Structure 1
Amino acid sequence: MLLPRRLLRPRLAFLNLHFCRLLLGFGLLYGLAVNWARARSWRDPTSAFFAEDKAYEPAYSVQRGEQANAFLEHANNNTLPLHFQTKVSAHPTICVGITSVARRGANYLQGAVGSVLEGLTAAERGDLYLIVLIAHSNPAEHPAYVEPWLHTLADKVLLYDPDRVDVEHIRELETPEAKSFAREKGLLDYIYLLRACESVNTSYTVMLEDDVIALDGWYHRTKNALSLAEQQTIEEGVDKWLYLRLFYTEQFLGWNSEEWPAYLLFSLLAALGVVAIATAIRHCRPATTAYLPNEIIALLAFVMTPLLIILFFAAGRITMLSIPAGVHEMPKFGCCSQGLVFPQSRIGDLVSWYESKRAGYVDMLTEIYADENNEIRWALTPSVLQHVGSKSSKTNTPGDHKHRLTVSETIWNFMFEENDMEQLRREHKQQAEAEI
């Protein structure tokens, strides 16, 4: 018995040409897109293409560290420009406080101080009051304390004043047996330095950890960001904000599991949108009906579109939805305490809060305070600081998901390493000329 011709050659025969061409073309384009994502997203820790073995390699921070070291050599040899010898002006607007604890096998303080100061103009240096706290009951235990550059460059080398702190208690916290060393002494040091900056009566206080590198031009970028923060705070109808963040790591800014309903909704809308657009085209232009049968529309909406959505998420949030340059709110996931700027008016509130807690990590306590009081927290993008410390004063335990790195080493701003030394120098020069 012969079967009808229409059964021998079903409608799907149409797909032999158009279906295969569409699949082939999409496959080629999709392969190119995957290669683009791999080349573009290897520094993005939120991406499936993140290359851990390369992404943590320092680039610009090494160059900036060399500039900082060369600057310190000039300080030791007394060959600095005059404005670094006269130091601060009579009316600075920013106090920069750095707390430093000696770490066995590492000395980060010179990189922090050198990079904060190197390249500053006379006006910028005069606008800045630098305090370095040597956080030891016996300051000679810190290798930098006996080095000439520290006393040459800092406006004040802060030591423990027996009239202000319980030095005997500090000694107890310095012992190996003091398990709460980081949580209690670290907070005590932070409070002590905040108060020292508060007494200078500057408009803002920049609190830095000693294992950071500041990029060339960090100061004018921070000043501009502070102006924007003040302006945006007023525009939001409030009269105060808590801090401006100068450093954050992108690894906590990825696709958040608690937002999966929104991701699912937009993905469904994208697929339905493809169906709607294809159907509308077929309806408005009947000539396209032969090219847009239901099978093709289903392929576009429920195979190709999901594959593109998967690639979108795999490429990483930092790559696909990058944070624009400037000042923006960062109420969540803003790790860590490497560089925070506080308005003078907020220091008293924070000190009282820290003292009420007695012990704890500064970054966590600050976020708890901000959450409980509905405080605005600003962040500067791109980051003007890099965390370079591999030996933390808190912990050096290996990370759960980065077995070859310590927890401290994973605190890293990946975009910082893309900075161009010459471009930053030109930007800094242009900014200085514009202010003359």
Structure 2
Amino acid sequence: MRLMRWRSSFCHNCPSTFSRGQIKFLVSYLVIYMFAILYCRWHFYRDPGSFFFDPEEGYRPLYSLKRVEQARSFIRLASNGSIPAPVPHLGDSDDGHDDAEAADVEKTMCIGMATVKRPFRQYVDVSLGSLLADLTPDERANVSVNLLFAHTDPKIHPFFKAPWVPVVVDNVLTYENVGYKLPSVRRLERERRTEEKRLFDYRFLLKSCYELTDAQWIAILDDDVLAQEGWYGRTMQALGKIQSQKKNGNSGRDWLYLRLFYTENFMGWNKEDWRGYLFWSLVAVSVPALGGLFLRRKIPSLQNTLSNPLLAAVSLVCVPAAIILYFLAGRISVQPMRYGVHPTDQFTCCPQGLVFPREIVPRLIHGLGQTVPQTRAVDSAIEEWADGEGLERWALVPSAVQHIGRETYRKETGDPREKFELGGANGLWNFRFELHERGTRG
């Protein structure tokens, strides 16, 4: 009885049905909602975390195909002798046993890359071509490229004697020409301990860049990546920004790497954050209801406009529908990362392209060799060690390199990616990379 008296005094003249104006409002909302769905279908098809994701269009290599041709043109010029070769080349002597005294000096960045013979297509030529094709003479002089033919018998690699290799690579590395004992590596090959060997090669490349150059930055990239035009300038700018933040005292922690590649497949709505999603959803539902009740009580003339049926429809139907569409649209569509550098200590994947500051490399080499299981995947080992050391990690947004290899990954029958020359490597694909020429700065 008391509740009835309270309701009566609180909303004495509230109608129990919708008025014509309220019906028009709800119909207008429905029309706008339908247009919002169409907008999501037209614009969010490249978000793998979106309900509106279209695999065929999402994996379409809008920029990569053109960039591959530019890289191949550069390699053809190198093969024809139209590009001067850098010096020195470790392992170019007649006996194949140059020592490390020919270290490159005054370098800004050392790029380490291990390449293996793939079952079908090789990508290392495209990878190196895309990295070097657009560098200015000064930028090229500041970069040292160390290429490891990661076989105990490097001659089995189809590009080991390719004419372009000594033209584009500063140091051609094999296990033998740097004095590594081959029996242990042969055992890894023979027993097909792939992850352990990849970890071994990763440490090998870190050590080669650290010992053969004085480069401030050491980048380790896979041999199936594609660098976008201007990648070097963007990377150096990002590294400078991180260093500036450190000098200004914005963060007291050491940092491990700048990530040049990431995939949006792991950047959707994280189940670990469900409490936050639920809280803000409840806030969104409550605000119009409580706000309407407050205004109706303060302004009696709004009693008919803000009736109970309307507030119920807005709070229990309209707002939840908008929340559902928000989540269906996908996180990177509605909450895209801004252009620049971002901390990425969680929910990142894959070691296709990482740039390390020189001072952290000795610790990382030791950590990968001593503090993590040797059977772990490289990226898992790095992330586990970084978590244990409390190191920050950063990512360059959008990605500066794309992952284009796929032969080493399982193919799926009927996968739309198979329609394109570049197949997205079974999901390890940066969708925003393909919009490079559209000038999207997110």
TM-score grouping bracket, smaller chain normalisation:
0.7 to 0.9
Once the two structures are overlaid, the 10-residue window that deviates more, 54-63 or 85-94, is 85-94
Q: Deviations over 1:69-117 (max 9, x none)?
A: 001111111123x5x6579984111101111011011100011000000
Aligned to 1:414: 431
Aligned to 1:223: 236
**Pairing 1:206-217 to 2, within 5 Å after superposition:** 206-217=219-230
Q: Deviations over 1:291-332 (max 9, x none)?
A: 111111111111100000000000000001111111111011
Aligned to 1:433: none
Match 1:187 to one of 199, 206, 210 = 199
Whether 2:35 is the aligned partner of 1:32: answer yes
Aligned to 1:102: 117
Q: Deviations over 1:156-212 (max 9, x none)?
A: 11111266322122223223xx242x1111111111111100011211100000000
Alpha-carbon distance in 2 for matches of 1:14, 1:355: 72
Aligned to 2:78: 75
CA pair 129-256 structure 1, distance change in 2 beyond 3 A: same
CA pair 403-215 structure 1, distance change in 2 beyond 3 A: closer
**Pairing 1:10-409 to 2, within 5 Å after superposition:** 14-15=17-18, 17-80=20-83, 90-161=105-176, 164-175=179-190, 178-180=191-193, 182-199=194-211, 200-234=213-247, 235-238=249-252, 240-356=254-370, 357-392=373-408, 396-397=409-410, 408-409=425-426
Alpha-carbon distance in 2 for matches of 1:57, 1:87: 40
TM-score, scaled to structure 2: 0.86
Instruction: Give the C-alpha shift of residue 236 in structure 1.
Output: 3.1
Alpha-carbon distance in 2 for matches of 1:358, 1:47: 36
Is the partner of 1:131 in helix, strand or coil?
Answer: strand
Alpha-carbon distance in 2 for matches of 1:414, 1:338: 15
Q: Is the 8 A contact 1:397 1:407 kept in 2?
A: no
CA pair 158-90 structure 1, distance change in 2 beyond 3 A: same
Unaligned ranges ≥5, structure 1: 1-9, 428-436
Alpha-carbon distance in 2 for matches of 1:120, 1:163: 29
Alpha-carbon distance in 2 for matches of 1:314, 1:249: 19
Alpha-carbon distance in 2 for matches of 1:409, 1:203: 34
Q: Which amino acid aligns with 2:40?
A: A
Is the partner of 1:282 in helix, strand or coil?
Answer: helix
Alpha-carbon distance in 1 for matches of 2:60, 2:424: 16
Q: What is the root-mean-square deviation of aligned Cα atoms in Å?
A: 2.6
Once the two structures are overlaid, the 10-residue window that deviates more, 338-347 or 15-24, is 15-24
Q: Is the 8 A contact 1:233 1:241 kept in 2?
A: no
Q: Is the 8 A contact 1:87 1:153 kept in 2?
A: no
Q: Is the 8 A contact 2:16 2:309 kept in 1?
A: no
Instruction: Give the C-alpha shift of residue 287 in structure 1.
Output: 3.1
Alpha-carbon distance in 1 for matches of 2:66, 2:225: 14
CA pair 207-163 structure 1, distance change in 2 beyond 3 A: closer
Is the partner of 1:143 in helix, strand or coil?
Answer: coil
Q: Which amino acid aligns with 1:223?
A: M
Q: Number of matched residues?
A: 407
Q: Is the 8 A contact 2:111 2:219 kept in 1?
A: yes
Unaligned ranges ≥5, structure 2: 1-12, 90-103
Alpha-carbon distance in 2 for matches of 1:12, 1:151: 84
Alpha-carbon distance in 1 for matches of 2:270, 2:340: 23
Q: Is the 8 A contact 2:225 2:352 kept in 1?
A: yes
TM-score, scaled to structure 1: 0.87
Q: Identity of counterpart residues, as a percentage?
A: 34
Once the two structures are overlaid, the 10-residue window that deviates more, 101-110 or 273-282, is 273-282
Instruction: Give the C-alpha shift of residue 276 in structure 1.
Output: 2.6
Is the partner of 1:136 in helix, strand or coil?
Answer: coil
Instruction: Give the C-alpha shift of residue 280 in structure 1.
Output: 3.5
Alpha-carbon distance in 1 for matches of 2:68, 2:424: 22
Q: Is the 8 A contact 1:119 1:216 kept in 2?
A: yes
Q: Which amino acid aligns with 2:385?
A: Y
Alpha-carbon distance in 1 for matches of 2:207, 2:86: 25
Instruction: Give the C-alpha shift of residue 240 in structure 1.
Output: 2.3
Q: Which amino acid aligns with 2:65?
A: V
Is the partner of 1:340 in helix, strand or coil?
Answer: strand
Q: Is the 8 A contact 2:246 2:252 kept in 1?
A: yes
